[in-house]
Chain A
Amino acid sequence: MDKRGRLIQKIRNIAVQTPTHILEVPEKVEGFGSINYKPESCSACKKCIEACEVEALDIDLMVQLPAYLSAIIPEEGFRSKNRETLISLLQILKGEGDVQAIPVPSGLSGYGSVVWITEKCIACNKCVEACPEDCLDLEKKYDLPTIIGNVVTPPSISITEWEPFVICFVCWECSHAAADLAGLMHLHYPANIRTVRVPCSGAVEPIQIMTAMENGVDGVLVTGCLLSECHYGGDDPLAGNFMQQDFVHFWQSVFKEIGLGGRLHIDFASAAMGIRFAEIVTEFVEQIRKIGPSPLRGKLEVES
């Protein structure tokens, strides 16, 4: 299975409730999105299918009559003139009743439409660029309900004595130094975290966050340099921590949908901010204490 497939599998593994909302994808988050397809102007040229490297598009030998009949032909018309004529003629002839898509007779070339396989798509935009007819566009929306599908809620757990267990990703540069400083300063913060040092907060991959959750941790904390002070990009909007901030916001919304809301957090502290680091950890552990143990602990218990 490819990386995207593994990630989605992990999200399915940790989901404890069925997602119901289509998510907004934050600005800097790439690789997640939705393809909007307008069958009415499509010439079934398969350029998008050829361009797609993850096989998220396929030809569907159907004539999408509902889209044809509801299409509004722009003033300058479609690039695909024969399609445009066909659609306008069908619209003139439209009688009473509902309309369904119909199959293309086998052996007839030049007709068909494209299907988009939501979970395979990596929103790389290559199909949009390849389309000569302008019938595809990429939308910053992530159709989580379709991808995750129905989730069976795991059995609830009754743990009497429980201490939160939190994985904390710290960046190599500032926040790791901040954690060190907190120690040097003899500051006290809850002993519930285990730090994992990463080169840059931007280097934390979602699959790592999901793996931590999958193994029953109660929360994941990501810390990085102060915003605009990332050692890998500084104040560039594409700097590691700026990027990760958006990504974490995205994953937070995913977590909320799948029943793990509040268990993921990102914050920032410079190498001089030992006190701040201690505060961040204290606040997050308190938050987790309030939410309670990870519902996945029950799942893990049953499995073991």
Chain B
Amino acid sequence: MKKLFLCTCNGTLNKLLDFTRIGKEAKAIYDVVEVADNLCLEEGLAELEKGLSGDDRLVIGACSSQIIGVPMKQRIKNDLVAFVPLREQVGWVHLEEGESATNKAIVLLSDAAVQLDYMESQAEFTENMVGRVLVIGGGIAGLKAASDLHRLGVEVTLLEPFKLDKHHYLQTSVFMSDADTLRSEIQEIQKTILDVERIRGEIREVRGQLGSYEVTINGAKDGSMTQEFGAIIIASGNQQSLPSSAKKMRYGKSERVVTLDSLISNSKKKRAKDRSTILVAVDFDAPMSSVEGSHLLRTTRDLAARGNTIIVVYSDIQTEDENLYREARDSGVIFIRGRVTRIKENDKGLSCRIENTLESMQRDVIADRVAIPRLIGPTIETTQIAEKLGVECDDSGFIRTRYSKMKPVQTSRRGIFVAGGAKMPMSLSDAMASAQNAVLEAFKIVRSPLVRSGWIPVIDDEECDVCKACLDACPNDALRLMDDRIVHIPAHCEFCGICVSACPTRAIEFQSHSKESWFARFEAIAATHKRLEGKKPFSLVFACSECANASIDQAGFVGKQYGTGSYVIQFPCAGMVSPIEILKGLVVGANRVIVAHCPPGGCHHQTGDHLSELVVSLTRDMLREIGQNPDRVRATYMMAAMPDKMQKEVPVRG
């Protein structure tokens, strides 16, 4: 049975909307219509539970699903439920338009009734996870990850590169922390991983998926070995190199030109009479990370504190701690924004010409030494590992993570994480923290079988042309080509539906969201709108279920008013929208179609924001070409922190 439960939100919503009329209209499309005063409270939930049997399909016309969804899910076992946020998306945002607002509520409820017709139970999967975790890299982050996993009782294999020189590692990692701290930290960790399996070798091949990655390793001793791992942590670190400008700075030609790091280790042994003038020439063109910047400030501060005269010629310095800059200045470090254009060696020392780009003037300085800070980049191993594992790298070759704030250690492939300097130059504490984070993510995967549920893409082999458009589109490596057919990997799927948008043949349909269901829903909306509002224009907002939907709900919470005749339709991800849905929207009579996605680069499924922009751009091009106004269709981003977005998009009706 199709049942509708309306909630008056403690007798407030019925002051804004005509519940009598809504109820009367709803009775025509629902088998049962109930009105409660507080569905989200204990008594309301009890009433709801009492009024339902197991196979009922249910629509909740109340507040946002984000509010009532959670307590309801704990009480109600029915999984065929649709939510109509009468409060956030109707009542609270159309305060001045009582009658039209009621009409909108009825339109949305008629849409929800159609939605129920097409709704399927979510698919459920249980997959066993291999308990062992592979940690690649023997630096501080790798050791820390292996140690923490071991402490958590997880079986670990620590894969270290063939060439691992501890002394060299310590020497080149001083930017992370001072050498003593680093050394003692490593010694401490080493003690905790005596029982951990450690092998020297390199990755030859990786197959499989989250929970069961089959890794073949070329070992030093036993030839190659293949083993299964539930998760993989990449901790291949970074390496330092001289900037391309080093040669111009006479590095290698003059003994007075040295790297900055060599200066610190040497200067400790020297006495006060060796005080000298040191010019630090930072590469003008290479971008400097905040870790590199902090290291630069720390070392120059220390050198200046020992009585040296330090001149730093720089273009841009970022630092993790503003105090470092102040301390460096207080110790007497002189900062000149610009670049060193020429160095000549004479009896007195090095005559350096500095082009001061801030004051547009040149200056000559005589220095005893010129010090060049080295640049930090990914190790060669990182590039090789990324290629073997099929994870993406950023422009500078560091491992790319999915979402810097929410998924800081997740690589582009599920079940593979990055810890420490393989992601970007990190200080010791950051590297340790990222290792801990990666360990927790890996631990979450391997500790128990993976149980997931969600609507998934269903592939019809008969219809499929194996054009691989879905493979290209899937941001999660959840579709693969096996034996000349497309196979869905549930463990990797994020239920976004982007693959469906790419399919030209309709060989992939997303559960509960078939093309036919969208068409039926748009038609229901258009028909009900026409019956209640006549010729008044309306617009459809295709909102992604993450940011855009949250923004629209938020508009309700803060009472940002916008026009009625604006019907929000939730898509799992905006990337699921194809030109077909947009054009259908126009065909059924919508004046405008707005596709709302997460902010650029902030898509919860990686590419949905970008793809939906492309889809809208293609649709607009097509409309322009066939003589329609392309401005009827637009893509925009919405986010919860911007509750006025809806108001901007739909300022007035239609």
Contacts and interface: CB of A to CB of B under 8 A. Distances in A.
* A and B found bound together: yes
Interface of A: 43-47, 63, 65, 69, 79-83, 85-86, 89-90, 92-97, 99-100, 102-105, 107-111, 132-133
B466 A81 contact: no
A282 to B, nearest CB: 60
B618 A81 contact: no
A102 to B, nearest CB: 5
Q: Is the interface of A mostly helix, strand, loop or mixed?
A: loop
B485 interface: no
B504 A94 contact: no
A96 B627 contact: yes
B502 interface: yes
Interface stretch (B142-150, B328-336, B368-376, B578-586): B578-586
A94 B626 contact: yes
Instruction: Count chain A CB atoms within 10 A of each CB in B465, B466, B503 and give the residue with the most.
Output: B465
Nearest to A86: B580
Contacts of A82: 503-506, 515, 578, 580
Contacts of B580: 82, 85-86, 89
The B contact surface, by secondary structure, is helix
B469 interface: yes
24 contacts: A43-B504, A43-B505, A46-B467, A47-B465, A63-B621, A80-B505, A82-B578, A86-B583, A90-B583, A90-B622, A93-B583, A93-B628, A95-B626, A95-B628, A103-B621, A107-B610, A108-B615, A109-B468, A110-B469, A110-B470, A110-B501, A110-B502, A110-B503, A133-B465
Of all A-B residue pairs in the complex, the 3 with the closest CB atoms, nearest first, are: A95-B627, A45-B467, A110-B469
B305 interface: no
Given A79-B463, A108-B615, A93 B626 contact: yes
Contacts, number: 109
Given A93-B628, A96-B627, A109-B468, 16 more contacts: A44-B467, A44-B504, A65-B625, A79-B505, A80-B505, A81-B505, A86-B580, A93-B583, A93-B586, A99-B625, A102-B621, A103-B621, A108-B611, A108-B614, A109-B470, A133-B465
Given A95-B626, A100-B625, A89 B583 contact: yes
A86 B584 CA distance: 9
Among the interface residues A82, A89, A132, which one has the most CB atoms of the partner chain B within 10 A? A82
B587 interface: yes
A85 to B, nearest CB: 5
A96 B503 CA distance: 30
Given A80-B505, A81-B505, A86 B467 contact: no
Contacts of A44: 467, 469, 504
B636 interface: no
A89 B466 CA distance: 25
A89 B584 contact: yes
A55 B356 CA distance: 58
Contact of B627 (A45, A97, A111): A97
A86 B579 contact: yes
B467 A69 contact: no
Interface in B588-636: 610-611, 614-615, 617-618, 621-623, 625-628
A243 B480 CA distance: 48
A220 to B, nearest CB: 47
A83 B467 CA distance: 14
B618 A109 contact: no
B127 interface: no
B296 interface: no
A78 B502 CA distance: 17
Given A43-B504, A85-B580, A89-B580, A94 B469 contact: no
Task: Identify which of B467, B472, B504, B621 gathers the most chain A CB atoms within 10 Å of its CB.
Answer: B504
A110 B504 contact: yes
Nearest to A78: B505
Interface in B447-490: 463, 465-470, 472-473
Contacts of A85: 515, 580, 584
Most buried by B among A69, A86, A94: A86
Nearest to B582: A89
B64 to A, nearest CB: 32
Nearest to B465: A45
B625 A109 contact: no
A102 B578 CA distance: 17
